[in-house]
């Protein structure tokens, strides 16, 4: 949540920061702002409610120039979206400006102190303004010193960038539990909350760790730990192409990323195969003895990643015969789960910065668990704090609604489950080879499936006016139904609900009425007849049924009103195919309803607060 960009150098900071904010708008788009420090004009702050385009229009007539500045695009937490609550915020004398991603937990007591002891007047509802005013009170001519002193007083999560008009050549930044990187450029140096913001200008970055403060000038970057000791940091070189974060002719990033899934899956599988067709985990040393020592696996994640974890549970239990529990990260943290050194803890996160997942990971490590993370972003916090990392190789995902990250996470979970089953001697050669051969051709089947996009568009045209949609399935299909429902609700705002089909009669069927749309996943051959019964069950209440089934299972047509067929594949792997028409269905319904697909209301890409 929230995007931060900062620059100090010899170019016009205004243009660099606005450009960077546009590339970070998927992280928050309730408001945006910019602050430029100028020794003659003072601190120039401009901010506006709404999208970055509103800010651009607001400042379009001004000749703003400075070689240092900070910018922010906001996802509202403390205080509603407004000009007043937008960042940057300034100190009481207006000479210091700050942008902030995260939450200051003790802001109420600090605010009270600043009001009572220093007579500070606040103009916003935000916790960020409190931190800014605190730095202003503590400032005695050295911005770095004031930031260190202020951070000693605050509790919470933050990534901040701070500038002062009295020190127009220095930018100070700090991080705790919120992402922050530093970019090393030829014409200056940068801070940002994510790589796409500055990739146009530099490819060498520092990954800033927790409780570190960074001081940037045009020609120098210094990193300090919490005790103010200098820190040496290796440079991380970004290898992916900046074009990967562009739309490349697609109407939306989400549609582009749906179509990138064959490549993402192909990369994720092929990078994990040796010349003999065996799975290789690249430095993850899980021997048979280690795997057999584990008596439990916890998979912990949030949102779409949690749904991938449910498929992971299915894969690991089926292939490796190990008990798996899947938990929502925000719940795991507060229920004192039974975790010890015989637990394998698997954290799944697209960004690798999801705060609840990160906190759960730390709790599991504290209890002695071995941590394996499945993440998409190299060098992210979850990756750096894990014992082992399994990268998804999906490439940058910009749309808020995750698509290719989800399917590549599924591939990772299948590979982990199959690897563990193989090591334990539970997956015989014939079954293993069949599954691997199928995994290798899934990208080709997806390419074929994506060519049926017009069929999905026609279905979306029939149902885009729906107010309530139900998704049902059995076995792995029930887990995919959760993801299909989430995609629909988060980008089209339709009230959708997913449930295991066998649970319908235990209450939910009371909500089925005439013309209610029910999306029924029936891709499991072993459960196909059971699903036909469930379809009949909702049809008897006058529901309209759209079924997803494998090619050849045409008996479903006698029960469902509409059927979308996916290519044949083993039951275990159908989630990789069946979810794609659900993603497309959500996309085209949202488009027909006039929704902002890449930036749905109230949502942001990376949730770095509780």
Residue 84 binned pLDDT confidence (cut-offs 50, 70, 90): confident
Say if CB 329 and CB 375 are below 8 A apart. no
User: Token pair of 587, please?
Assistant: 């996309």
One domain, residues 120 and 230: yes
One domain, residues 418 and 537: no
Rg (CA), the chain: 25
Whether 609 shows a pLDDT value over 60: the answer reads: no
Residue 259 binned pLDDT confidence (cut-offs 50, 70, 90): very high
What number is the average pLDDT over the span 130-157? 95
User: Quick check: is 609 in a domain?
Assistant: no
What number is the average pLDDT over the span 495-501? 94
Please give the pLDDT value at position 45.
92
From 49, 313, 489, 605, the catalytic residue: 605
One domain, residues 423 and 541: no
Say if CB 540 and CB 504 are below 8 A apart. no
Task: List the single range of 249-253, 321-325, 446-450, 579-583 with lowest mean pLDDT.
Answer: 249-253
One domain, residues 423 and 498: no
Is 412 part of the annotated catalytic residue set? no
Please give the pLDDT value at position 155.
92
- C-alpha to C-alpha distance for 276 and 298, rounded to whole angstroms: 31
Is 2 part of the annotated catalytic residue set? yes
Q: What percent of the chain has pLDDT over 70?
A: 96
Say which residue the tokens 């960077």 belong to: 20
- In residues, how long is the chain? 610
One domain, residues 292 and 368: yes
Whether 517 shows a pLDDT value over 90: the answer reads: yes
One domain, residues 339 and 352: yes
User: Quick check: is 600 in a domain?
Assistant: no
| CATH code, domain with 342 | 3.40.50.10490
Whether 386 shows a pLDDT value over 90: the answer reads: yes
- Number of structural domains the chain divides into: 3
Burial group, residue 455, by CB count within 10 angstroms (0-12, 13-18, 19+)? middle
One domain, residues 327 and 226: no
Beta-carbon contacts of residue 319 (< 8 Å; ≥ 6 apart): 417, 418, 420, 421, 426, 427
Whether 142 shows a pLDDT value over 80: the answer reads: yes
Beta-carbon contacts of residue 24 (< 8 Å; ≥ 6 apart): 3, 4, 5, 73, 192, 193, 194, 196, 197
Last residue in a domain, options 449, 474, 492: 449
One domain, residues 217 and 306: no
Q: Which residues of 129-139 are buried (b: 16+ CB within 10 A; e: fewer)?
A: bbbbbbbbbbb
Residue 55 binned pLDDT confidence (cut-offs 50, 70, 90): confident
Residue 107 binned pLDDT confidence (cut-offs 50, 70, 90): very high
- C-alpha to C-alpha distance for 107 and 104, rounded to whole angstroms: 6
One domain, residues 17 and 160: yes
User: Quick check: is 429 in a domain?
Assistant: yes
Whether 76 shows a pLDDT value over 70: the answer reads: no
- C-alpha to C-alpha distance for 480 and 447, rounded to whole angstroms: 20
CA dihedral 139, 144, 147, 152 (to 10 degrees): -110
Last residue in a domain, options 381, 415, 449: 449
One domain, residues 402 and 422: yes
Q: pLDDT digits over 357-374, tens only? A: 999 999 999 999 999 999
Per-chain mean pLDDT for the chain: 91
| Structural domain span for residue 361 | 253-449
Whether 51 shows a pLDDT value over 90: the answer reads: no
One domain, residues 124 and 39: yes
From 2, 202, 412, 595, the catalytic residue: 2
pTM as predicted: 0.82
Last residue in a domain, options 422, 449, 476: 449
User: Quick check: is 218 in a domain?
Assistant: yes
| Cβ neighbours, 10 Å, residue 53 | 13
Whether 78 shows a pLDDT value over 80: the answer reads: no
What number is the average pLDDT over the span 566-574? 96
Please give the pLDDT value at position 28.
63
What number is the average pLDDT over the span 160-174? 95
Whether 606 shows a pLDDT value over 60: the answer reads: no
């Amino acid at each position: 949540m929230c995007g931060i960009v900062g620059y100090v150098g010899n170019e016009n900071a205004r243009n660099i920061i606005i450009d960077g904010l546009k590339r970070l708008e998927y992280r928050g788009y309730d408001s945006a702002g910019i602050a430029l420090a100028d020794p003659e004009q003072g601190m120039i702050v401009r901010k506006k409610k709404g999208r970055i385009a509103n800010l651009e229009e607001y400042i379009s007539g001004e000749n703003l120039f400075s070689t240092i500045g900070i910018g922010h695009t906001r996802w509202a937490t403390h205080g509603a979206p407004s000009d007043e609550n937008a960042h940057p915020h300034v100190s009481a004398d207006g000479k210091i400006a700050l942008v902030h991603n995260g939450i200051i937990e003790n802001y109420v007591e600090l605010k009270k102190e600043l009001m009572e002891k220093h007579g500070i007047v606040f103009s916003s509802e935000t916790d960020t303004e409190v931190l800014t005013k605190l730095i202003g009170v503590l400032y005695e001519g050295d911005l770095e010193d004031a930031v260190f002193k202020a951070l000693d007083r605050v509790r919470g999560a933050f990534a901040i960038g701070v500038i002062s008009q009295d020190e127009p050549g220095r930018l100070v930044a700090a991080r705790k539990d919120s992402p922050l990187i530093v970019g090393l450029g030829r014409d200056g140096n940068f801070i940002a909350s994510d790589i796409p913001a500055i990739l146009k200008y530099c490819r060498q970055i520092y990954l800033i760790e927790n409780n570190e403060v960074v001081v940037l000038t045009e020609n120098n970057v210094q990193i300090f730990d919490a005790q103010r000791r200098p820190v040496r940091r290796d440079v991380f070189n970004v290898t992916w192409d900046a074009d990967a974060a562009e739309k490349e002719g697609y109407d939306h990033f989400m549609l582009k990323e749906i179509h990138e899934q064959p490549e993402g899956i192909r990369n994720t599988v092929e990078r994990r195969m040796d010349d003999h067709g065996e799975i290789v985990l690249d430095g993850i040393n899980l021997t048979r003895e280690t795997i057999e020592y584990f008596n439990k696996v916890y998979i912990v994640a949030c949102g779409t990643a949690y749904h991938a974890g449910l498929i992971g549970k299915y894969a690991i239990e089926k292939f490796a015969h190990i008990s798996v529990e899947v938990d929502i990260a925000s719940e795991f943290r507060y229920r004192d789960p039974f975790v010890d050194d015989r637990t394998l803890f698997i954290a799944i996160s697209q960004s690798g910065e999801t705060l609840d997942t990160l906190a759960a990971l730390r709790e599991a490590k504290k209890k002695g668990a071995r941590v394996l993370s499945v993440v998409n972003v190299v060098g992210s916090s979850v990756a750096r704090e894990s014992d082992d990392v399994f990268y998804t190789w999906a490439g940058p995902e910009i749309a808020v609604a995750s698509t290719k990250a989800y399917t590549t996470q599924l591939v990772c979970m299948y590979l982990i489950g199959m690897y563990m089953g193989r090591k334990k001697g539970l997956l015989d050669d014939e079954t293993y080879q069949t599954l691997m051969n199928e995994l290798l051709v899934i990208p080709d089947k997806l390419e074929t499936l994506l060519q049926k996009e017009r069929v999905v568009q026609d279905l979306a045209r029939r149902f885009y006016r729906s107010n309530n949609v139900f998704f049902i399935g059995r076995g792995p299909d029930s887990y995919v139904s959760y993801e299909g429902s989430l995609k629909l609700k988060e980008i089209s705002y339709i009230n959708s609900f997913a449930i295991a089909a066998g649970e319908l009669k235990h209450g939910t069927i009371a909500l089925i009425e005439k013309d209610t749309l029910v999306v029924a996943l029936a891709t499991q051959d072993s459960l196909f007849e059971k699903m036909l019964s469930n379809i009949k069950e909702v049809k008897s209440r006058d529901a309209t049924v759209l079924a997803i089934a494998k090619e050849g299972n045409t008996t479903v047509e006698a029960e469902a009103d509409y059927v979308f067929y996916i290519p044949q594949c083993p039951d275990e792997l159908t989630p990789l195919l069946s979810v794609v028409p659900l993603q497309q269905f959500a996309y085209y319904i949202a488009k027909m309803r006039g929704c902002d697909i890449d930036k749905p209301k109230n949502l942001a890409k990376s949730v770095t607060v509780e």
